Amino acid sequence: MTAARPLRQPASRQGLRVLRGRQAKLRPALAPWMIMVLIGVAAFLGLGFARTSLDKSAFELDRLNRAITEQEAMNEQLRLEIARMENPARIAPLAEELGLVIPQDTRQLLVDLGGPALVSNDEGARQ
Amino acid sequence: MAATKAAAKPDRSRVRVAAIGLGLVLALLGLGFRLFQVQVVQAEELAGQGLDQRLVTRDLAPQRGKIYDRNGELLAMTVEAQSIWANPDQVEEPLWVAQQIGGLLGVDSQELLTRLESDRDFVYLKRQVEPGVAEEILGLGVRGIYTHPEATRIYPAGSVAAHVTGFVDIDGNGQEGLEYIYDESLRGVPGKAVFERDLEGRIIPQGMTDIMPAVPGADLNTTIDLPLQYQTQQACLSALERTSAESCWVVVLDVETGGILAMSGAPVFDPQMRQTLDANCDPAEDPTCHAFKNFIVRGVYEPGSTQKLITVAAALEEGEVKTGTVFSQVADILELRPDACRSADDELFGCYQDFEEHETANMTVAEIFTRSSNVGTILIADTLGQDRLVSYIERFGLGSQTGVDYSVEAPGMLNFEAGCETCWASAAIGYSVAATPLQMAAAYAAIGNDGVWTAPHIVASTTDVDGNEEVAGLETRKVVSEETAVLMQQLLANVVDEGTGQAATVEGYRVGGKTGTANKLGEDGRYTEVTRASFVGMAPMSDPKVVVAVLIDAPSYRYRTGGAAAAPVFAQVMEQALHRLGVSPDAPVG
């Protein structure tokens, strides 16, 4: 039979101290940073895109303005062409070639209550 | 000793390091200073300089206004053309290029070669050619040949309306006619464009842009009727052929408004051929030149018997005579000075004769006018006296500009030299007075308009770019009473019915008018056998709407009178004018 032995006291050593258990080091939260970076990149790309679109629309506007000017010039050319075609000096000889002549015998019709009659009365001709 | 050397070594390297450090610090300080100077002190000035290098200012040429006839037909307009130019330094085979391009441009190859061999770096080969021609030339792929756009003035009616529109020079400045007198209105206001461009000259999008647009010129809406203008010109050309005259001039007036419906003449000119136009041109001497006279507004002549309208109207208005007043023993010759008709200078010194010999007879005022008696008219004028006669001549607008909107109008003149005892008699029958055909037309229009003279005009209104229309005001004045005007209308109708103007008859209409035959002064100051034949008249006499004045200069002897040369032209033009205006006939049937 053995006698119960007292519990052994831990021997205290000089220079040693108790350290608290090292807590798990907290990692910095990446997600917000990532989001911010993504937002930043997206904003940068968006800005670039907006700028490009704006420039593109300026080029488009310039192209459209030029097209309008060209169409206006063409319209003027067509008006000129019409005016040239309507020039009596061009039409009269053509009409003559086709055998058209200015009528020599002109008469005015008087529309009376009784029916038409040949007159040269001013008053009647207006009716 | 060795230890001392070892200790000195680190010291020297420290010095070097310190020196380099100092140098770096100084350099950085210098850079910083310069940066401060550039970015802060000179920032504004340098930014301005940069902007100046990128900024370009261009003048924006305004579109020149158009000219329309009364029906909206174009008489003049501006379109874009191409001007061909060359840099002679870059042209490799000038002779070949001149031959190739000369044919396409219609320019003499030798002339082109001279330009292509010049030592300049910019020469025009031809300005303002049609875009198709420019494309053909560029299509040749010749090095050193370029084009640039340039506005050009076009007259679609060609020579038909040339006497109305006038023309511009190569740079678009009005030189003649409406183009000249309305140059400021037609021209518009130039604009300005300021913009940034890159190194290659392209406009920088989103760059600075400041555009002040050009304001186009106003459009002119004239009173001219283009088809009538054409028919008038054709009538004149036919008359030249028939009478072998030097020139023919016709003006058609709207009696009520004074609007000029047609104003034409022959010889004609093409306003597009501005390079060869010359006011002093004589085509007989130089067939390549074109004359551009407008005698209707600018030429003066002694109107001869057409002037008798004013003399008789004045005497009637003053109550000195009535149409039935009889002048007894009217001969066909009158001496205002003893033995004047025996002098060689009889016409200048008081000897007056009727155009045709006739027996001495009693004549009424109506007969004197119908038979165009010079002697009888002088007797009528004698009842007025010189002062009153001159007053009426002036009242009818002779001797002063009518105010028509055409370039450089001639005022005409009343030649009453001091001490001239017979000038009043000459003036009574249309000598000693110089008038323009337009002045005579306006005087007759006053009779047709019941005694109210209206200033003739060509432009009825102007329309600006915003569509605002400004209507030209009418200038009118009463010259004789309505009663006198109606009496004169009856006398004019008599001239055509049974007098000297029977060739002026228009079928279906009652026409009135007066013939005129005036001898031309020769270079020696004496009257010659060469005449100016004229006819001025109106229709329909029931309510005159149109006045036509015809002047034929130097017709052949057979056609030397107004009745033979001018009256048929009048009839032709008047008939067309009445039809164009839709005027109902007023002559009795049968």
Q: Which pLDDT belongs to residue B589?
A: 66
Instruction: Tell me how crowded residue B368 is: count the other CB atoms within 10 A of its CB.
Output: 27
Q: Which string of DSSP letters, residue by residue, matches B522-572?
A: -TTSSEEEEEEEEEEEEE-TTS--EEEEEEEES--GGG-SIIIIIHHHHHH
List of chain A residues whose C-beta atoms are within 8 Å of the C-beta of residue B79: 73, 76-77, 80
Least confident of B218-222, B276-280, B515-519: B276-280
**Inter-chain residue contact A120 with B589, CB threshold 8 Å:** yes
Q: Which pLDDT belongs to residue B427?
A: 92
What pLDDT band is residue A121 in, cutting at 50, 70 and 90? very low
Which two structure tokens, joined as six digits, stand for A16? 């040693």
**Inter-chain residue contact B157 with A76, CB threshold 8 Å:** no
Q: Is the pLDDT of residue A127 over 50?
A: no
Q: What is the pTM of this model?
A: 0.81
Rounded average pLDDT over B297-309: 94
CA angle (B290 as vertex; B285, B293 as ends), nearest 5:
105
Is residue B206 within 8 Å of residue B323, measured between CB atoms? no
Is residue B268 within 8 Å of residue B162, measured between CB atoms? yes
Which tens digits make up the pLDDT trace of B403-445?
A: 999 988 999 988 877 678 788 999 999 988 999 999 999 999 9
- Give the integer Cα–Cα distance in Å for B76 and A4: 136
Question: Counting every residue, how long is chain B?
Answer: 590
Q: Of B37-46, B199-208, B568-577, give the range with the top mean pLDDT.
A: B568-577
- Give the integer Cα–Cα distance in Å for B578 and B571: 10
- Give the integer Cα–Cα distance in Å for B79 and B215: 16
Least confident of A35-44, B273-282, B393-402, B466-475: B273-282
Which tens digits make up the pLDDT trace of A77-109?
A: 899 999 999 999 999 999 999 999 877 666 666
**Inter-chain residue contact B79 with A83, CB threshold 8 Å:** no
What pLDDT band is residue B301 in, cutting at 50, 70 and 90? very high
Q: Is the pLDDT of residue B562 over 80?
A: yes
**Inter-chain residue contact A62 with B203, CB threshold 8 Å:** yes
Which chain B residue's Cα is nearest to A59?
B205
The tokens 């002098």 sit on which residue?
A: B343
Q: Is the pLDDT of residue B279 over 60?
A: yes
Is residue B334 within 8 Å of residue B350, measured between CB atoms? no
Q: Which pLDDT belongs to residue A123?
A: 41
List of chain A residues whose C-beta atoms are within 8 Å of the C-beta of residue B542: 122
Q: Is the pLDDT of residue A126 over 50?
A: no
Using CB atoms, pick whichever of B74, B542, B584 lies closest to residue A83: B74
Give the CA diameter of chain B: 162
Which is it for the CA torsion B341, B347, B351, B356, positive or negative?
positive
List of chain A residues whose C-beta atoms are within 8 Å of the C-beta of residue B157: 83, 87-89
List of chain B residues whose C-beta atoms are within 8 Å of the C-beta of residue A71: none
Q: Is A77 on the interface with B (CB under 8 A)?
A: yes
Which is it for the CA torsion B424, B429, B431, B433, positive or negative?
positive
**Inter-chain residue contact A55 with B589, CB threshold 8 Å:** no
CA distances from B539 to B10, B490, B513 (A): 126, 12, 9
Which is it for the CA torsion B351, B357, B358, B364, positive or negative?
negative
In B98-208, where do the E strands start and end?
Answer: 123-129, 145-154, 167-168, 174-176, 191-196
Which chain B residue's Cα is nearest to A57?
B205
Using CB atoms, pick whichever of A87, A106, A126 lies closest to residue B508: A106
Q: Is residue A71 part of a domain?
A: yes
Which chain A residue's Cα is nearest to B229?
A88
- Give the integer Cα–Cα distance in Å for B402 and B389: 19
**Inter-chain residue contact B203 with A122, CB threshold 8 Å:** no
Q: Is A84 on the interface with B (CB under 8 A)?
A: yes
Phi, psi of B273 (to 5 degrees): -90, 50
| Best A64, A90, A122 residue to mutate vs chain B (most B CBs within 10 Å) | A122
- Give the integer Cα–Cα distance in Å for B590 and B586: 12
Q: Is A87 on the interface with B (CB under 8 A)?
A: yes
Q: Is the pLDDT of residue B77 over 90?
A: yes
Q: Which pLDDT belongs to residue A1?
A: 47
Q: Is residue A108 part of a domain?
A: no
Which chain A residue's Cα is nearest to B151?
A73
Q: At how many degrees (to 10) do helices B386-395 and B308-317 cross?
A: 110
Determine how β-strand B145-154 pairs with β-strand B74-86.
Answer: antiparallel
Q: Among the residues of chain A, which ranges form H helices?
A: 30-85, 88-97, 122-125
Which chain A residue's Cα is nearest to B150?
A73
Count contacts between A and B (CB, < 8 Å). 72
List of chain B residues whose C-beta atoms are within 8 Å of the C-beta of residue A93: none
Q: Is residue A15 part of a domain?
A: no
The number of folded domains in chain A is: 1
**Inter-chain residue contact A76 with B542, CB threshold 8 Å:** no
Q: Which residue has the higher pLDDT, A5 or B21?
A: B21
List of chain B residues whose C-beta atoms are within 8 Å of the C-beta of residue A87: 156-158, 160
List of chain A residues whose C-beta atoms are within 8 Å of the C-beta of residue B585: 108, 120, 122, 125
Which tens digits make up the pLDDT trace of B131-164?
A: 889 999 999 888 999 998 889 999 999 999 999 9
Q: Which residues of B touch A (CB under 8 A)?
A: 73-74, 77, 79-80, 154, 156-160, 203, 205-206, 226-227, 229-231, 234, 507-508, 540, 542, 579, 584-589
Is residue B177 within 8 Å of residue B297, measured between CB atoms? no
**Inter-chain residue contact B74 with A80, CB threshold 8 Å:** yes
- Across all residues in chain B, what is the average pLDDT? 90
To which CATH superfamily is domain B229-581 assigned? DD-peptidase/beta-lactamase superfamily (3.40.710.10)
Using CB atoms, pick whichever of B156, B234, B579 lies closest to residue A87: B156
List of chain A residues whose C-beta atoms are within 8 Å of the C-beta of residue B584: 108, 120-122, 125-126
Q: Is A88 on the interface with B (CB under 8 A)?
A: yes
* Residues of B forming the active site: 305
Using CB atoms, pick whichever of B158, B159, B584 lies closest to residue A126: B584
ipTM of the complex as predicted: 0.75
Q: Which pLDDT belongs to residue A107?
A: 66
- Give the integer Cα–Cα distance in Å for B510 and B539: 6
- Give the integer Cα–Cα distance in Å for A115 and A85: 41
Give the CA diameter of chain A: 169
Range of the domain at A59: 32-100
